[in-house]
Amino acid sequence: MTRRGVAILGSTGSIGTAALRVLERHSDRFRVSALTAFNNAPLLEEQSARYAPSFVGIVNNGAPAHRRWTTGPHCLVEAATRDDVDIVLNAVVGAAGLDATLAALEAGKRVALANKESLVMAGELAADAARRGGGEIIPVDSEHSAILQCLAGRPSSEVRRIVLTASGGPFRDWTRERLEQATVDDALCHPTWRMGRKITIDSATLANKALEVIEAHFLFGVPYDRIEVVVHPQSIVHSFVEFVDGSVLAQLGTPSMELPVLYALTHPDRVEDAGVRPYDPVASSPLTFERVREDDFPALRLGIEAGRRGGASPAIFNAANEEAVALFLDGHITFTDIPRTVEAALVELGSLAAGSRDALLAADDAARHHVRESCPC
Ligand code: NAD
Ligand code: MG
């Protein structure tokens, strides 16, 4: 069997390291062709020694001259477009993943996409790049992997509704008053998933679920009024699809990102794997579902409205959110300031152009600038 070459962008992160565990179990099918990281040179060095990729890139510092590593932000696109790469696992966090997603699609690669931010920013451009270059996106996000598996190739015209599940994050049952006092440590304490810091904060504000609604809209071509969110604290049901005949399918499993990572690599095939603890229906009972407290977690509504508005609004939502999360993590603003700050940026910048990558990056930049300017720090 010819082994498929995989580039892992963001190999030192939570998804990147999970992906390397998966690839190690399936080294008969896949080889690690390229690795990139932001600045964690020691871990990248270790990974490079272990997996012997033909390309290693680091964005920022930490690469002494003796290493034959490519440095600077462009290393992502280089890794994503190499001839020995068939699948690009984009596990970079934030808008920094955009160019690599577009370039990989344009170069005809399969993009196993964890970096939802790039699709949220530029869903239409990604679709154009895929059409031109013959690439495809297979989602790594657990909800979207679930939906893809439930759809099993059926067209969007047969879908009545998509229901994305949300764990509800660490503040699911906190009162509005208590949310005002939430600390960084409180927000980083996710009940069911161990993830990078940015997505963990997004899960606490529900901005992550807004990004996922937009991601689902672009991936599956389903209009916003047919995408819903329900809180499911156990994170066992990864999402539902209701078809036009009223039948509802769900995909379930132990909460581990190794499952959707593996599926994104092998789709539409399934391969034998025993890396993840088997699902035990009795031990994980009961499975419960709740309505989202939309008034107490306004980031969800803000993001969905930005998605409906279209144009540059999703990119503005995403960039303002990234900046606001960074300010919160640095102790400059409170938890409940995050959606307030994002809303102010959306109100101020609502109608920017979005026809090209450069226009989207200008909107992204304007949103970041607006958030930083409005910071009391
Ligand atoms: P993380 O912070 O653990 O890792 C991020 C990786 O990206 C690191 O390897 C880092 O070196 C690299 N990186 C960071 N900034 C960069 C930049 N400016 N340029 C290039 N590389 C950069 O994050 P994570 O939790 O692994 O999440 C990665 C992506 O996957 C995010 O888009 C997130 O929303 C998505 N995702 C994560 C999970 C999860 O369980 N962790 C689940 C679903 C989706
Ligand atoms: Mg998700």
Residue 61 C-alpha to ligand 2 middle, in angstroms? Answer: 31
Mutation probe of ligand 1 site: the residue of 9, 11, 14 with most atoms within 8 A of C-beta: 14
State if residue 20 touches ligand 1 by the CB under 6 angstroms criterion: no
Q: Give yes or no for a contact between 87 and 4, defined as CB atoms under 8 angstroms apart.
A: yes
Mutation probe of ligand 1 site: the residue of 92, 148, 201, 203 with most atoms within 8 A of C-beta: 92
Contacts of residue 217, defined as CB under 8 A and 6 or more positions apart, other chains included, come to 123, 223, 224, 227, 307
State if residue 37 touches ligand 1 by the CB under 6 angstroms criterion: yes
State if residue 174 touches ligand 1 by the CB under 6 angstroms criterion: no
> Residue 166 CB: number of other CB atoms within 10 A?
23
Please say if the pLDDT value at position 183 is more than 90: yes
Which atom of ligand 1 has the smallest separation from the CA of 200? 25
Residue 144 C-alpha to ligand 1 middle, in angstroms? Answer: 17
Q: Give yes or no for a contact between 338 and 352, defined as CB atoms under 8 angstroms apart.
A: no
State if residue 293 touches ligand 1 by the CB under 6 angstroms criterion: no
d(CA 305, CA 113): 23
Q: Give yes or no for a contact between 214 and 123, defined as CB atoms under 8 angstroms apart.
A: yes
Residue 215 half-sphere exposure, CB side, CA atoms within 13 Å?
Answer: 26
d(CA 14, CA 4): 22
Mutation probe of ligand 1 site: the residue of 9, 15, 21 with most atoms within 8 A of C-beta: 15
Q: What are phi and psi of 297, to 5 degrees?
A: -125, 70
* Residue-level length of the chain: 377
Minimal-distance CA residue to ligand 1 atom 41:
195
d(CA 89, CA 139): 10
State if residue 10 touches ligand 1 by the CB under 6 angstroms criterion: yes
Please say if the pLDDT value at position 266 is more than 60: yes
Q: What is the mean pLDDT of the chain?
A: 96
Give the residue with greater pLDDT, 153 vs 63: 153
Q: Which protein residues have their CB within 5 A of the ion that is ligand 2?
A: 141, 143
Q: Give yes or no for a contact between 119 and 219, defined as CB atoms under 8 angstroms apart.
A: yes
SS3 240: strand
Whether residue 170 is preceded by a cis peptide bond, meaning omega within 30 degrees of 0, is no
Instruction: Convert the pLDDT of each residue in 6-64 to its tens digit.
Output: 999 999 999 999 999 999 999 999 999 999 999 999 999 999 999 999 999 999 976 66
State if residue 141 touches ligand 1 by the CB under 6 angstroms criterion: yes
State if residue 93 touches ligand 1 by the CB under 6 angstroms criterion: yes
Task: Pick the range with the lowest mean pLDDT from 183-192, 236-245, 321-330.
Answer: 183-192
Q: Mean pLDDT, to the nearest integer, of 256-276? A: 97
Which tokens belong to 51? Answer: 């997996």
Pairing of strands 4-9, 30-37: parallel
State if residue 146 touches ligand 1 by the CB under 6 angstroms criterion: no
Q: Which ligand is nearest to the CA of 73?
A: 1
Q: Which ligand is nearest to the CA of 165?
A: 2
Pairing of strands 159-166, 227-231: parallel
State if residue 257 touches ligand 1 by the CB under 6 angstroms criterion: yes
Q: Mean pLDDT, to the nearest integer, of 58-80? A: 86
d(CA 26, CA 13): 20
Q: What are phi and psi of 338, to 5 degrees?
A: -60, -60
List the helix and strand counts (H, then E) for the chain: 16, 11
Instruction: Convert the pLDDT of each residue in 305-343 to its tens digit.
Output: 999 999 999 999 999 999 999 999 999 999 999 999 999
Residue-level pLDDT at 350: 81
Residue 263 C-alpha to ligand 2 middle, in angstroms? Answer: 15
Minimal-distance CA residue to ligand 1 atom 40:
195
SS3 27: coil
State if residue 92 touches ligand 1 by the CB under 6 angstroms criterion: yes
Eight-state DSSP code of residue 290: B
Residue-level pLDDT at 1: 76
